[in-house]
Amino acid sequence: MALDRKIAFIDLTNGEIQIKPIPISMRKKYLGGRGLDAYLLYNYSKKGVDPLSPDNPLIVSGGILTATCASATARTHVMAKSPLTGLLGSTNMGGFFAPELAWAGFHHLVIKGKAEKPVYLYIHNGNIEIRDAGKLWGKTTTETQWAIREELGDDEIKSLVIGPAGENLVRFANVMTGIKNSGGRTGMGCVMGSKNLKAIAARGTMDIRIAHAQEAFEYNKRFIDQITSAKVNQTQGALGTPFIWGATNCWGGLRTRNFQFNQLEYADDIEPERLDEIATETVGPHHMTGCFACQVHCRGQYRIPSGPYAGKYDEGPEYTSQGAFGAEPGCTSAVTVLTGNHLVNQFGMDNLETGSMIAWAMELYEAGILTEKETDGLDLRFGNDEALLEMVERICYRKGWLGDTLADGGIPAAEKIGKNAFDYLIQVKGMNNLHSDERATPALALNVATSSRGSDHLRSRPAIDLYHLPEDVLRRIYSNPIPYKGPLSSEHTSYEGKPWMVYWQENCYMAVDCLGICKYHTTFLGATLPNFEDWPKVIYYNTGLEFTSEEIWTIAERCNMIERMFNLREGLARNDLKKGDTLNHRYFDEPCRRGAPDVIGLSIDRGKFNKMLDEFYEYKGLDKNGKPKPATLKRLGLENEPSRSL
């Protein structure tokens, strides 16, 4: 059945492999996916471990619902200590890998050690082989996947791979599966590269028995109706995630030219409708495609229309690539965005971090902190499309002084560049912000500051705060499953009630990541999509395990807390500009300069921000310094961790 999927402990140094069942007691505490991964990382890594050492465990998983009758159970999660931040490393991607891993018999892999030479893992129906990857080293992400299929003689094999960036230990290298499914944050591809692990390939034909198959099937039909009827998902199915970029740029919520502006002007060529015109590759009736068991189909398929990469096929671009290769460097060409998206997909690099690092370097160049001496003659001004794409390749291959410097991530690069370069770096906990500008949205600013893996929009963002929903609608959402009688505001510029919204979303997204489903199928962009009240039945029908909505909430709290315990162990401190729950000074000191009338002139108020942070900590059961209170640990059953119970 679904709960028969195993956990494998793999030592690449000596080739030892141990396969164990996952106790039901651990399922009841952590469910699976990201939550159980957090437990494993906290228990199987030592304080202060070097992220690039053999002792840093790399953990790969699917959620408890992966490959069942539940919709959108495509997500693969990867966790380790981050080489980019020195704190929690965690990334999540769609595609088809996690279901294939489940059909091959496994929900979790814990990989330690370092192979003497490049290797890849092949997992097939309960068996795990460590195979030579010498011929794969140096290949791009898609070349690697096709080569593995050819070598093993099976086109149904799904692989999790790194590209040249991971091999070169770029500290924000991706893990990739398929054409563009990207585990793109915190440098998990760099950890794979440090272990000489080029890929993990999976092929499975093992049955998964569903506990109550007919009920699971019928209940999922209700989910599908709920998901496909939401206007936000209908829009994504037509235009993909670029529609988010278009809407956000319209009112002034995009950081542009690093952090100088909050809206990209003259950007018609990279608006979603324009990109939709270019994306003309077809699958079935139209050009949108998607992940395993998903009805939304949120990404386009395209061929680059012109330039040196003309004719190259790729998927997307996601709205993150519009920011990385459009708004942040001040470029307005669709070809540039599509080409940048293609390059990072092939190289295996985080598009958000790549675009942010280059845009930061452009502002440093503009300010005279970087000169042509450091850029090796490259004119690194904003809006220089050719320089932008050249820097993508330089970072991947660590070419030149600047390419090598930026490949190490923002904080090390700032220390190497010197002067006041750090002041211009828009980061939290060592990870660059995506291309959003939260100066007009206090809730989103708090979300960015407190996310467990660094600046982030997928850990606790109350995106529906931008919709101006009536207060009674907000209260129905944010009082489930735990009653909340505090203030709530429909105004996105307000500070009232925002800490609870961020806290609620943090638990919602953790639960989603433990289940293994996509955030577009919960209360992320759509206020009517499934959440806590829907999950007990979908878990029961598919696995047989019984939970109340309140129990799922508590599991999410527990999983979030053990992530925080890991971060605290590795140096997290409330107000630390490099490892804390705070923001770059520009959020407070530089008002928004463009956008809608209710955006222009706004910045984050320091006093109100700190009050929000105090309130957020109180909801989580933390003291004023952000450390868990003893009563909180006892309530969540974490007072004896690390326990090594698995």
Assessment of whether the complete model's pTM goes beyond 0.85? yes
Tell me if 333 sits within 8 A of 340, measured CB to CB: no
Tell me if 184 sits within 8 A of 168, measured CB to CB: no
Dump strand ranges (E) for 13-117: 17-20, 58-62, 76-81, 88-93, 106-112
pLDDT tens by residue, 429-472: 999 999 999 999 999 999 999 999 999 999 999 999 999 999 99
What is the DSSP annotation of 232-282? HHHHHHHH-THHHHHHHHHHT-B-BTTTTBSS-SS-GGGSHHHHHHH----
pLDDT tens by residue, 44-103: 999 999 999 999 999 999 999 999 999 999 999 999 999 999 999 999 999 999 999 999
List the end-to-end C-alpha distance of the chain, in Å, as a whole number: 20
Longest pairwise C-alpha distance within the chain: 68
pLDDT tens by residue, 610-632: 999 999 999 999 999 999 999 99
Residue of 187, 122, 130, 173 whose CA lies nearest to 13? 130
Tell me if 193 sits within 8 A of 166, measured CB to CB: yes
At residue 5 the predicted structure's pLDDT band, cuts being 50, 70 and 90, is very high
Tell me if 330 sits within 8 A of 381, measured CB to CB: no
Query: What is the gyration radius of the CA atoms in the chain, in angstroms?
Result: 23
Q: What is the pLDDT of residue 342?
A: 97
Angle at 631 (CA atoms; ends 629, 636), nearest 5 degrees: 100
Which spans in 528-644 are helix H? 535-543, 549-569, 586-589, 606-620, 630-635
Q: What is the pLDDT of residue 245?
A: 87
Q: For all residues of the chain together, what is the average pLDDT? A: 96
CA distance 112 to 130: 13
pLDDT tens by residue, 275-309: 888 877 755 556 788 899 988 888 888 999 999 99
* pLDDT at 244 exceeding the cut of 90: no
* Torsion angle defined by CA atoms of residues 637, 639, 644 and 645, in that order, rounded to the nearest 10 degrees: -30
Which spans in 442-548 are helix H? 442-450, 471-478, 498-515, 535-543
pLDDT tens by residue, 469-515: 999 999 999 999 999 999 999 999 999 999 999 999 999 999 999 99
Dump strand ranges (E) for 40-196: 58-62, 76-81, 88-93, 106-112, 119-124, 127-132, 158-161, 175-177, 181-183
CA distance 305 to 188: 32
Q: What is the pLDDT of residue 286?
A: 61
H helix or E strand, kind and range, residue 11: strand 6-11
Cβ-proximal residues to 444 (8 Å cutoff; 6+ apart), any chain: 436, 438, 457, 461, 462, 463, 465
pLDDT (mean) for 297-326: 92
Percent of the residues in the chain that have a pLDDT greater than 90, as a whole number: 89
Q: What is the pLDDT of residue 353?
A: 98
Residue with structure tokens 């590209």? Answer: 163
H helix or E strand, kind and range, residue 431: strand 431-432
Two tokens, residue 219: 């209940």
Two tokens, residue 155: 């086109």
For residues 319 and 101, the model is more confident at 101
Amino acid at 317: P
CA distance 560 to 547: 18
Q: What is the pLDDT of residue 295?
A: 86
Tell me if 101 sits within 8 A of 77, measured CB to CB: no
pLDDT tens by residue, 191-209: 999 999 999 999 999 999 9
At residue 160 the predicted structure's pLDDT band, cuts being 50, 70 and 90, is very high
Lowest mean pLDDT: which of 41-50, 151-160, 232-241, 309-318?
Answer: 232-241
pLDDT tens by residue, 211-229: 999 999 999 998 888 888 8
User: Could you tell me the strand order of the sheet in which 58-62 lies?
Assistant: 17-20, 6-11, 106-112, 58-62, 76-81, 88-93
Domains identified in the chain and CATH numbers: 2-203 (3.60.9.10), 240-432 (1.10.569.10), 442-635 (1.10.599.10)
Phi-psi region of 379 (alpha: psi -120 to 50; beta: other; left: phi over 0): beta
